[in-house]
């Protein structure tokens, strides 16, 4: 069983964003799998970098759509995105300087953050984009 699994309760109603979320889940699963099987730091770092790159892409996708449709919750939503990016960038810095390591605590943080963000924040735009005809 995967460490983190997407299900319909997590659907935000926009296909592109659902696909983005599924892909982010895949990255977290790959990281978790790598951690429990003892994958080397270099390969783990590659996966983490992939996760970070795709997270930025996804955040850009959402933010662009919010701006395009003048979504009222844009500023608060972007702030959450920026906070996560800063935290992960901080972890990357620690890792690159040899002060950080992959841990179950990190996996738990990423998993909880993503699920809580989708359920608590992304889902707020579901009806808004539906009304705008964005699918």
Binding region for ligand FEO (CB under 6 A): 17, 21, 58, 62, 77, 81, 117-118, 121-122
Q: Which string of b and e fits 109-119 if b means at least 16 CB within 10 Å?
A: ebbebbbebbe
- Of 12 and 44, the one with the shorter C-beta distance to ligand FEO is 12
Q: How far is the CB of 94 from ligand FEO (least distance, A)?
A: 24
- Give the residue at shortest CB distance from ligand FEO: 122
Q: How far is the CB of 77 from ligand FEO (least distance, A)?
A: 6
Q: How far is the CB of 81 from ligand FEO (least distance, A)?
A: 6
Asked if 9 and 2 count as a contact pair (C-beta separation under 8 A), the reply is no
Dist CA 127 CA 134 (whole Å): 10
């Amino acid at each position: 069983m995967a460490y983190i699994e997407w299900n319909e309760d997590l659907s935000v109603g926009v296909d592109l964003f659902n696909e983005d979320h599924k892909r982010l889940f895949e990255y977290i699963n790959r990281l978790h799998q790598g951690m429990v099987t003892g994958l080397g730091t270099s390969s783990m770092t590659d996966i983490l970098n992939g996760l970070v790159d795709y997270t930025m892409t996804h955040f850009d996708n959402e933010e662009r759509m919010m701006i395009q449709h003048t979504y009222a919750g844009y500023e608060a939503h972007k702030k959450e995105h920026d906070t996560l990016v800063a935290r992960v960038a901080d972890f990357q810095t620690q890792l690159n300087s040899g002060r950080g390591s992959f841990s179950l605590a990190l996996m738990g943080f990423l998993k909880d953050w993503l699920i809580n963000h989708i359920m608590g924040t992304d889902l707020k735009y579901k009806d808004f984009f539906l009304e705008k005809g964005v699918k």
